[in-house]
Structure 1
Amino acid sequence: MNDASSGAKRGPVEIRDYGRLIATYWIIVVACLALGLGTALAWTQVQRPLYATQASGYIVVAPGPDVASLQSAESVAQSKTAGYLFIAESLPVAERVRSELGLSAPAAQLLEQISVDNPTGTTILRITAEAAEADDAVTLADAWLAALSRQIRQIEGHSGGADELIRLDPLGTASLPLRPVFPNPVLSLGLGGLGGLVVGLAIAAVRSASDRRVRSAETVEAMFQLPVLGVLPRERNRRPVRGRTGVELPWPRSEAMQDALRSLWTGVRFTDVGRPLRSIVITSPMPRSGRSFLTAQLAVTIAASGQPVIVVDAQLHAHSISDIFGVQEGPGFGELLAGTCRPEDVLQTWARRSNLQVIAAGSSMGEPDELLGTPAAGVLLAQLAQRAIVLVDAPPLRSAPEVAVLTKMADGALVVVREDTQDDELGDAVRSLARAGASILGVVMNRLPSRIARERHDHRERAVHAAHNGVPSSPLVTGIAASNPAEIHSPAVALER
């Protein structure tokens, strides 16, 4: 047995863990994504639109008649442009615009709507105007360019005639903007969606970190160093089979469940190839794990392959197996442990399979669970194992610690968990079995979502296929690959006989 009792640690985070995180908490992630998009859309709708347009002009210095004077004029124009860049964003220019347009807004406020830049290596001044209306932005940009031109004339001492040595010539008028520059719906929705997604993933990560449930086979194997021998799907539609008492035995009719049970039994057979398994105790950390129903299903699967099986109901308080198989209550396992009867007196053959026998729980005085840890239980299991493969439906370890001692007397134990089983609960169960010296064959994950069960089944199939092709694998997978699939018949067919 692997040393799983020393401590349970989660393995390193891999890329597929993030995919599983989204798949597990997809409702939270989608809700946060939708909230982020909705918030961004609402914010966009309430924002006041802002339009922007540009008006450009270039500084001209009148050259002389020769080439030297032309080069000198270009140099003067560039040096003048740097100074006019600051003048373009000054209050005098803003006051001119305010006066010419008849605006009531103060000049300082107009300056907040204007930005001026000079493309490198040119004498061009580019004025960008912003306004709540597209027409206002065009008017403001053209007016600002005209006001700057007049301000330059004033500074240079020109009257506006054709003999001006330095002037600002416009490069056309500003164009009418077709859409606002603010808000940007595409950018807003992108940032809102990204923010919502990040928040959703953060919430999912926090919940996952605080969620101690064993949700995947990989988590169990990484934390406890125990093989997960079976992952059984949660069946939603199943046709009932009735026992003699009329109690429904909801036998799995889906192909997925049948494949999972066959894979489970094959995995159990090859956990220890050198040691035949004749008696197996099936227990769980906590109640309501579906353990009894799983025991019944596994028994029918084994019986369908032609091997004799004895199912022992060791839940001396619950009597679940009797109800599932529809056998009569009466003397049973409790009386066998007390020594008041023999196995021949309590073995009942199931009506649908002659090679499947059931020992009911029976009854006993006092504390019946204490009998599970007595030497008589070990002797009884050895006697029954000579007749057939023995499956013992045992109580949960939390309510009956004696089960750990009973498991030591058997050839091995299967620990059944559900998706809502906490990792500390499974850890306590594993440590309890380890202290008793029991052999833990592996873990069975019961009633998981079909998607998770299907992924695990596909993973096992790929591993078996790789082993068939000579790829190194674990002894368990290698043994499964070497087995004959025809040896295990369909339980559904067996029930129809």
Structure 2
Amino acid sequence: MEIREYGRILRAGWWIVAVVAVLGIVGGWAYSFFSTPQYQACARLFVTTEGGSSVGEAYQNNLFSQERVTSYAGLATSTQVAQRAVDQLQLPLSANDLRAKITATPIESTVLLDLCGTDSDPDVARALTNAVAGQLTQLVQELETSQRGGSPAAGATIVDQADVPTSPLGAGLVTLLGLGAVAGLALGVVIALARGLVDRSIRDRPKAEEISGNAVLGGLPIDAERPKTPVASFSKMGEPLRTLRTNIRFLGGGSPPRVLTVTSAEPGEGRTSTAIDLAAVLAEAGHKVLLVDGDIRTAALAERLDITQEHGLSTVLSGEHRLGDAVQPDVIDGVDVLPAGPVPPNPSELLGSDRAQILLEAVRGDYRYVVVDTPPLLSVSDGAILTALADGSLVLARVGSTTRDQLRKAIKTLGGVGGKVLGVVTTFEPHRRRRTKPGSTGPVAKPKIEVEGRESSAATVGRG
């Protein structure tokens, strides 16, 4: 994976990084607020042995004292010393509880021993440390004195008594907040990257082109007004739709495709909206256009355009009605519509019949462009059947929803029936900032567009 792909994943998941970073800061504050502060008081002891009369004896005594420091550190945390300290202070805790609060650390290559006691009360921490230090020196004296009497061979002397600590152990609030933020940022980046790597959906046009093996003819941004409005507002969607129209007109060199199917892998990827808007933008250029609802199982086109469908594609293919009786003229300015008609019991058989091929050939002679809205390819075979009869198909890929496997299977399905893929159109693309002319922002119910020097309403919907 290229570095720019990681950058794209992080840009898409910036909110995850931000949220986790904030949670890290909150966690640092919560730890500081709810945790009980601990105070540590330390004393220092000096270990000595009987002096020698020569330099060699003094050196040996020093080595002996360094070895004794380690032993005394073990004695400092022993049960006997702890019990003596508990008895001295008359505290309501056991010897083992006190041992857990005491640490003894020999200073390397010296005869010094640091003794520290920890407690939530700074005064108690000081008292514990000094009591243990005093009991340790007393026990050392007892152990180092021969049973026959005399001076002890070694001893421990308190050099520094423990003082009352003024600040608790650990990091302060500012440090904890900083650590929480850093930890949250790091974790957020990991989560965002993991989410992006696991996410198999199409995220941009280059990926759609790479996965499909076909050119991306255009991209349609998210339109919050669809499907509430029958036709997209050209003040907002005009530019991408006209780009798509231009790219379609340049396909095939001197003989561009005239009968187009609009399909996708799964439902909810914008087929019906794209078919309507494509038909409208082709009519805007002055072409005579027929919009066909090839999804005779759901008939969403008639509902979107608010037209009747007692007559439609299904009744024409079954021989009940003539084509002229089923086509509703000028439903959209410059666009005739052939609705799906009543749902038949055998949709696939009707669409695969000779009548369907004859029908498409007939309308090819009457219209410059025929746009067919089809069902999703991975749900039923209808879309593939219609594409095999048409000049080619526009395969839609919804950004952030259509997966790579779904797009591959859709392309493979069309190839399996000999259908031609004209190109891919990405839908529901995130908005990018762009300048708009004054008065062209916001939803427009009936925007005016120019058709070869005259104005016409591209969203004027006829009532059937």
Query: Taking structure 2 as the reference length, what is the TM-score of the superposition?
Result: 0.69
What one-letter code is carried by the residue in structure 2 that aligns with 1:277? Answer: P
* Aligned-partner Cα distance in 1 for 2:7–2:60: 64
Query: Structure 1 residues 415, 135: CA separation in 2 closer, same or farther (over 3 Å shift)?
Result: same
Aligned with 1:251 (options 220, 232, 252): 232
* Aligned-partner Cα distance in 1 for 2:118–2:343: 92
**Is 1:126 aligned to residue 114 of structure 2?**
yes
* Aligned-partner Cα distance in 2 for 1:171–1:272: 96
Query: Structure 1 residues 382, 11: CA separation in 2 closer, same or farther (over 3 Å shift)?
Result: farther
* Aligned-partner Cα distance in 2 for 1:346–1:109: 92
Kept in 2, the 8 Å contact 1:239–1:252? The answer is no
Aligned with 1:374 (options 349, 353, 373): 353
**Is 1:293 aligned to residue 281 of structure 2?**
no
2:439 aligned residue? none
Aligned with 1:181 (options 136, 160, 169): 169
Aligned with 1:77 (options 28, 43, 62): 62
SS for the counterpart of 2:168 is coil
**Is 1:143 aligned to residue 131 of structure 2?**
yes
SS for the counterpart of 1:249 is coil
Aligned with 1:309 (options 289, 305, 328): 289
**Is 1:265 aligned to residue 245 of structure 2?**
yes
Kept in 2, the 8 Å contact 1:142–1:173? The answer is yes
Query: Structure 1 residues 366, 32: CA separation in 2 closer, same or farther (over 3 Å shift)?
Result: same
SS for the counterpart of 1:122 is coil
Kept in 1, the 8 Å contact 2:231–2:276? The answer is no
* Aligned-partner Cα distance in 2 for 1:441–1:423: 18
* Aligned-partner Cα distance in 2 for 1:18–1:365: 46
* Aligned-partner Cα distance in 2 for 1:42–1:93: 38
Query: Structure 1 residues 313, 84: CA separation in 2 closer, same or farther (over 3 Å shift)?
Result: closer
Deviations 1:22-57 (A, max 9, x none): 469x59x958985x8878877776655432221113
SS for the counterpart of 1:438 is coil
Question: Once the 2 structures are TM-superposed, how far is the Cα of residue 126 of structure 1 from its aligned partner?
Answer: 1.1
What one-letter code is carried by the residue in structure 1 that aligns with 2:67? Answer: A
Query: Structure 1 residues 226, 52: CA separation in 2 closer, same or farther (over 3 Å shift)?
Result: farther
* Aligned-partner Cα distance in 1 for 2:339–2:361: 18
Kept in 1, the 8 Å contact 2:331–2:337? The answer is no
Question: Once the 2 structures are TM-superposed, how far is the Cα of residue 373 of structure 1 from its aligned partner?
Answer: 2.5
**Is 1:53 aligned to residue 38 of structure 2?**
no
SS for the counterpart of 1:89 is helix
1:483 aligned residue? none
Question: Once the 2 structures are TM-superposed, how far is the Cα of residue 297 of structure 1 from its aligned partner?
Answer: 0.6
SS for the counterpart of 1:350 is strand
Deviations 1:260-281 (A, max 9, x none): 3234334445565576222211
1:437 aligned residue? 418
* Aligned-partner Cα distance in 2 for 1:435–1:426: 14
**Is 1:390 aligned to residue 378 of structure 2?**
no
What one-letter code is carried by the residue in structure 2 that aligns with 1:279? Answer: V
SS for the counterpart of 2:114 is strand
* Aligned-partner Cα distance in 2 for 1:399–1:309: 28
Query: Taking structure 1 as the reference length, what is the TM-score of the superposition?
Result: 0.65
| Alignment RMSD (CA, Å) | 5.2
Deviates more, 1:336-345 or 1:392-401: 336-345
Query: Structure 1 residues 294, 104: CA separation in 2 closer, same or farther (over 3 Å shift)?
Result: closer
Q: How many residues align?
A: 431
SS for the counterpart of 1:236 is coil
Query: Structure 1 residues 196, 78: CA separation in 2 closer, same or farther (over 3 Å shift)?
Result: same
Query: Structure 1 residues 82, 454: CA separation in 2 closer, same or farther (over 3 Å shift)?
Result: same
SS for the counterpart of 1:277 is coil
Query: Structure 1 residues 273, 23: CA separation in 2 closer, same or farther (over 3 Å shift)?
Result: farther
Question: Once the 2 structures are TM-superposed, how far is the Cα of residue 135 of structure 1 from its aligned partner?
Answer: 0.9
Aligned with 1:407 (options 380, 387, 396): 387
* Aligned-partner Cα distance in 2 for 1:297–1:303: 10
Kept in 1, the 8 Å contact 2:208–2:426? The answer is no
Deviations 1:431-465 (A, max 9, x none): 4322210012233344x3x53x649x9xxxxxxxx
* Aligned-partner Cα distance in 2 for 1:304–1:442: 22
What one-letter code is carried by the residue in structure 2 that aligns with 1:412? Answer: G
* Aligned-partner Cα distance in 2 for 1:108–1:371: 88
SS for the counterpart of 2:74 is coil
Structure 2 residues without counterparts, runs of 5 or longer: 435-446, 457-464
What one-letter code is carried by the residue in structure 2 that aligns with 1:180? Answer: P
* Aligned-partner Cα distance in 2 for 1:395–1:81: 87
2:100 aligned residue? 112
What one-letter code is carried by the residue in structure 1 that aligns with 2:10? Answer: G
Aligned with 2:6 (options 3, 7, 15): 15
Question: Once the 2 structures are TM-superposed, how far is the Cα of residue 286 of structure 1 from its aligned partner?
Answer: 4.6
**Is 1:89 aligned to residue 74 of structure 2?**
yes
Kept in 2, the 8 Å contact 1:327–1:350? The answer is no
Kept in 2, the 8 Å contact 1:311–1:392? The answer is yes
Query: Structure 1 residues 13, 238: CA separation in 2 closer, same or farther (over 3 Å shift)?
Result: closer
Question: Once the 2 structures are TM-superposed, how far is the Cα of residue 144 of structure 1 from its aligned partner?
Answer: 3.0
Question: Once the 2 structures are TM-superposed, how far is the Cα of residue 345 of structure 1 from its aligned partner?
Answer: 7.2
Output aligned runs, 1:269-280, within 5 Å. 269=249, 276-280=256-260
Deviates more, 1:345-354 or 1:290-299: 345-354
* Aligned-partner Cα distance in 1 for 2:2–2:214: 13
Deviations 1:77-135 (A, max 9, x none): 34313213312432454455344434464545433322222222322211111223111
SS for the counterpart of 1:281 is strand
1:468 aligned residue? none
Kept in 1, the 8 Å contact 2:73–2:106? The answer is no
Question: Once the 2 structures are TM-superposed, how far is the Cα of residue 334 of structure 1 from its aligned partner?
Answer: 5.4
* Aligned-partner Cα distance in 2 for 1:323–1:164: 105
